[in-house]
Amino acid sequence: MGKTRRLTTTPHRTFHRFETKAPNELWMTDVKYGPYLPGEQPDTFRRAYLIAFLDDHSRAVWGAYYPAEDLPSLLDCFKRALLRRGVPSRVYCDQGLVFKSRQFSRICAELGIRHVFAKAYAPQGKGKIERFWKTVDTGFAPELQVSQPKTIEELNRLFWAWLETDYLHRKHGETDETPAARHDRAKIPPLDPAVAAEVFLWREQRTVDKAGVISVFGNRYEVDPRLYRQRVDIRYDPFDLGTIRVFCDGRRFPDAVVLNLHRAADPRVAPAEPAAPRPGTDYLRRLQQQQEAEARAKIRRLEFRNLPQAQGKEGPQGV
């Protein structure tokens, strides 16, 4: 009867091919394990992770390698994709914890993006980005055996060169067009950097004490006297706790004044404290390596806090 053990134990399911009618109607995102790179210590290695956003209609992609599969990496990649490709109508992702984070969901909501999750144990819905991973494995990864990058920055420079000059301008087998031509025909404007500067700030809530002070990760700040004993919303760059924006009932108040700053960054993104040096180790060399690692982390992410804000706007209205 043509039956096999696999067919008799697997529920019958059918799938249909689909494609959106225009660019930026749907983005797919996922994380892929990348190559191992030399670690900060001799004879150590650290894996890189590739995060990418793929447009369903054009197959245009923006992505980058990161040292961790965490929320700061996802948000950094998402921000870069929005600044290059514009704002999509929907973002489709799996059930991973990083995609279910409150910060990522809030950013999607503020930009009017519908946040859609794939059904558990149903990877078929992400077939297009899975096919892109195969293209990376066959087209980009083999070249790393020759180039042998030593840092995340060097790896990303090679990946972006391959992405912009090869993948985006190679005719796709399904669409019979290059991803760049199919996406650029729609002339979609990128996200305004001033809007991105506001939307991608992290947010928390704090209660102002009777002295007009709030505490943020061990740091203490003085706020506007009108906010005594009120619940306020704070917005900040997780890599720079020196500036805390204060909001209450949707209205912005003067930025909080630093009273003492014990932490320069949110502990969820700050690098781990170095272990105490053993006798005979080069302590100054260790400090130099730590300084270089922190500098690379700052360069890796776009810093929008210094960009001018949109005039006449309290936030990202109208997006």
Written as tens digits, the pLDDT of the chain (319 aa) is 777 877 666 655 655 667 899 999 999 999 999 999 998 888 899 999 999 999 999 999 999 999 999 999 999 999 999 999 999 999 999 988 999 999 999 999 999 999 999 887 666 667 899 999 999 999 999 988 888 899 999 999 999 999 999 999 999 888 889 999 999 999 999 999 999 999 999 999 999 999 999 999 999 999 999 999 999 999 999 989 999 999 999 899 999 999 999 999 998 886 544 444 444 444 445 555 665 666 666 555 555 455 555 444 444 444 3
Please give the structure tokens belonging to residue 151: 């840092």
CA 74 – CA 225 distance, rounded (Å)? 37
Beta-carbon contacts of 68 under 8 Å, excluding residues fewer than 6 positions away, are 49
The model's pTM: 0.76
Domains of the chain (ranges; CATH) run: 20-195 (3.30.420.10), 202-270 (2.40.50)
Three-state DSSP class for residue 46: strand
Q: What is the phi/psi pair of residue 61, to 5°?
A: -130, 145
